[in-house]
A and B are shown apart, each in its own frame.
Chain A
Amino acid sequence: MAEYTVITPLPGTFYRKATPESPNFVEVGALVGADTVIGLIEVMKQFSELTAGTAGRVTAFMVEDGDPVEPGQIVATLDEE
Chain B
Amino acid sequence: MIKVLKPGLATSVQDLGREGYYHLGIPPSGALDQYALSAANQLVGNPAGAAALECTLLGPELEFHQDALVAVCGALMTPRVDGVEMHHDTAFSVRAGQVLRFDFPKAGARAYLAVAGGIDVPLVLGSRSTYALGALGGFQGRRLAIGDELPIGIDSGKSRAGASLPMALRQALGGEITLRVVPGLYYHRLTESAKSSFFAEPWTVGSEADRIGYRFKGGSALSFQPREQPFGAGSDPSNIVDSCYPIGSIQVPAGLEPIVLHRDAVSGGGYAMIGTVISADLDLIGQMQPNQKARFVAVTLEEALEARRSYKKKLSCLSKLFPS
Residues of A at the B interface (CB closer than 8 Å) are: 7-13, 42-46, 48, 68-72
Report the minimal beta-carbon distance from A14 to chain B, rounded to whole angstroms.
Answer: 10
CB distance B289 to A71 under 8 Å? Answer: yes
A72 to B290, CA, bound (A): 14
What 0/1 pattern do residues 91 to 130 of B give for CB contact below 8 A with A?
A: 0000000000000111001000000000000000000000
What 0/1 pattern do residues 196 to 212 of B give for CB contact below 8 A with A?
A: 00000000000111100
Chain B interface residue count, CB cutoff 8 Å, equals 16
A12 to B109, CA, bound (A): 12
A70 partner residues in chain B, CB cutoff 8 A: 289, 291
CB distance A44 to B209 under 8 Å? Answer: yes
CB distance A71 to B105 under 8 Å? Answer: yes
- Let me know if B39 is at the binding interface, CB within 8 A: no
Given A44-B207, A44-B209, A44-B210: A71 in contact with B9 (beta carbons within 8 A): no
- Let me know if B11 is at the binding interface, CB within 8 A: no
Contact of B290 among A9, A48, A68 (CB under 8 A): A68
A48 partner residues in chain B, CB cutoff 8 A: 9, 58
22 residue pairs A–B, Cβ–Cβ below 8 Å: A9-B58, A10-B9, A11-B57, A11-B109, A11-B207, A11-B289, A11-B291, A12-B291, A13-B207, A13-B290, A43-B290, A44-B9, A44-B10, A44-B56, A44-B57, A44-B208, A44-B210, A45-B208, A48-B58, A68-B207, A70-B289, A72-B104
A7 partner residues in chain B, CB cutoff 8 A: 104
Report the minimal beta-carbon distance from A46 to chain B, rounded to whole angstroms.
Answer: 7
Report the minimal beta-carbon distance from B67 to chain A, rounded to whole angstroms.
Answer: 29
CB distance A43 to B106 under 8 Å? Answer: no
Given A45-B208, A71-B57, A72-B106: A11 in contact with B290 (beta carbons within 8 A): yes
List the 4 shortest-distance A-B pairs measured between CB atoms, nearest first: A9-B104, A71-B104, A12-B207, A68-B291
CB distance A42 to B207 under 8 Å? Answer: yes
A42 to B9, CA, bound (A): 11
CB distance A71 to B210 under 8 Å? Answer: no
CB distance A10 to B291 under 8 Å? Answer: no
A43 to B207, CA, bound (A): 5
B57 partner residues in chain A, CB cutoff 8 A: 9-11, 43-44, 71
CB distance B9 to A43 under 8 Å? Answer: yes
Report the minimal beta-carbon distance from B307 to chain A, rounded to whole angstroms.
Answer: 28
B290 partner residues in chain A, CB cutoff 8 A: 11-13, 43-44, 68
B105 partner residues in chain A, CB cutoff 8 A: 11, 71
A45 partner residues in chain B, CB cutoff 8 A: 208, 210
A43 to B58, CA, bound (A): 11
A10 partner residues in chain B, CB cutoff 8 A: 9, 57-58, 104
Report the minimal beta-carbon distance from A16 to chain B, rounded to whole angstroms.
Answer: 16
Report the minimal beta-carbon distance from A24 to chain B, rounded to whole angstroms.
Answer: 20
- Closest B residue by C-beta to A46: B9
B9 partner residues in chain A, CB cutoff 8 A: 10, 43-44, 46, 48
Report the minimal beta-carbon distance from B47 to chain A, rounded to whole angstroms.
Answer: 29
A43 to B9, CA, bound (A): 9
A13 partner residues in chain B, CB cutoff 8 A: 207, 290
Report the minimal beta-carbon distance from A76 to chain B, rounded to whole angstroms.
Answer: 16
Report the minimal beta-carbon distance from A67 to chain B, rounded to whole angstroms.
Answer: 10
Report the minimal beta-carbon distance from B107 to chain A, rounded to whole angstroms.
Answer: 9
Report the minimal beta-carbon distance from A72 to chain B, rounded to whole angstroms.
Answer: 6
A13 to B217, CA, bound (A): 13
Question: Among residues 288 to 312 in chain B, which have CB atoms less than 8 Å away from a CB atom of chain A?
Answer: 289-291
Report the minimal beta-carbon distance from B83 to chain A, rounded to whole angstroms.
Answer: 16
Report the minimal beta-carbon distance from A68 to chain B, rounded to whole angstroms.
Answer: 4
B209 partner residues in chain A, CB cutoff 8 A: 44
